[in-house]
Amino acid sequence: MAKLKPEDIALNNKIALRIKELRVEVNPNQSKFAECHFIDRQLVSRWENTNDQRGVSIHTVSRFCNLIGITLSEFFDSNLFKEN
């Protein structure tokens, strides 16, 4: 696997932070969020992990958005993605 560029790592981190931000709004407890949506808590933890160099795919972001009832546009409509 090719080494990620700093801007790619920054984007991965912003996505992870946004997932956590939105998840906390829905349910501050990672385990309970996972339980309510019939997914593994470790999966949620990986989505929110800013140290994971793999990041998450757009398909994962879309799946997360479906779980919490928002659109991809709403997900990316955040100051996190407007900053350089």
- pLDDT band at residue 17 using 50, 70 and 90 as cut-offs: very high
The CA R_g of the chain, rounded to the nearest whole Å, is: 13
Domain extent at residue 35: 6-82
Q: Does residue 79 surpass a pLDDT of 90? A: yes
User: Mean pLDDT over residues 59-82, rounded?
Assistant: 97
**Residue 56 belongs to domain with CATH number:** 1.10.260.40
Look at residue 1 and tell me if it is in a domain. Answer: no
For residues 60 and 74, is the Cβ–Cβ distance under 8 A? no
- Give the pTM: 0.92
Look at residue 12 and tell me if it is in a domain. Answer: yes
The structural domain count of the chain equals: 1
80 membership: H or E segment, kind and range: helix 79-82
User: Mean pLDDT over residues 31-49, rounded?
Assistant: 96
Q: At what angle do helices 6-26 and 41-48 cross, to 10 degrees?
A: 130
Kindly report, residue by residue over 43-70, the tens digit of the pLDDT: 999 999 998 878 899 999 999 999 999 9
